[in-house]
Structure 1
């Protein structure tokens, strides 16, 4: 899937990589999670990165997946992001070791909050039409974890069945306490309708009222390209 909007060479561009590691390579995959951002050290133009685990079968529950994981990487320019996709040994190692593999290049049009102190620069306009993507992440306070997870399942179930949601995957830096969700939508109206209604709205209101998070971020993106296969669905 391609977006007609062209990337500006000097603008920050994000890459999201989703991988379902083949059984023979799972030890390699687990070692990437253990290394974390160190696995991406030295990559030209890289500003920020995370290596993330996932819930069972790419979902949102407390049970971790033995094979599914993700990488989020923010680059100083579209050129640097594309160079990572075209030439990075790490990118191609994931591709070669995965039974399903999908990636996206993204430009930020809105960002509230931060991720380990990093806030993403908005450098494109919200799309009038066409696909959008969202990344939501939070550091959950230890004392609030039980209350947070009481609200999470209804919200996550509603996401997977939401109108216009093409893809949704649960990700995280650490079980229980550092969680993220990446989703891809047919358009901005569908994403907004989900965010502002039902179980998701109730979960957000509870988080704000009771102070569940020590840090949180909600970023929205224009997908420049989405390519690969995830949970049996092809993207191009």
Structure 2
């Protein structure tokens, strides 16, 4: 009987040792299993990136582009249409092409709320217009004429700055006159940009000189906004 008890004791001892060794490896399995077998994916950062180009962290400004404007559309028309969005004339810039035809109007909104409100108002009242999102770089790339620059359209090909000065006799303008050619049909069209010290002086030039003659050519005068 004593031999049987000794054999049983030895068997139980051997089983206990194997069990302890097996259990010692269990914590490693438990620590590894969440990493190896987890079906959860990492949180996507999309939410934080939505409309990121609309955000200007330093100022909170938001930019949009109003499509559907014509050369007869005034900044005051847009300010009045978007009444309640807290816009001023300085918050608008005309996006002209190379021939100085308006392609749209850039709008600087004081907040995202104002932009959303303008979207609703354009949908409701401005059936001829469409407002889309824009970036700060689009705004910065445009030259603000602010009603102080006049475009002379249809100058003779041989016209020089002196001829333009004679055409503008009686109008107080800056000394710099920019002459250039733009594509036309059938021939290129000569134009000039003339800057004035104020909007009143620029409008005075329009009233006095529009459809006047320079070297026998009739000139169209436009005030750029």
Relative contact order (alpha carbons < 8 A, sep ≥ 6): 1 or 2 greater? 1
With the shorter chain as reference, the TM-score category is: 0.3 to 0.5
Bigger Rg, which one: 2
Structure 2-normalised TM-score? 0.33
Q: Higher strand proportion, which one?
A: 1
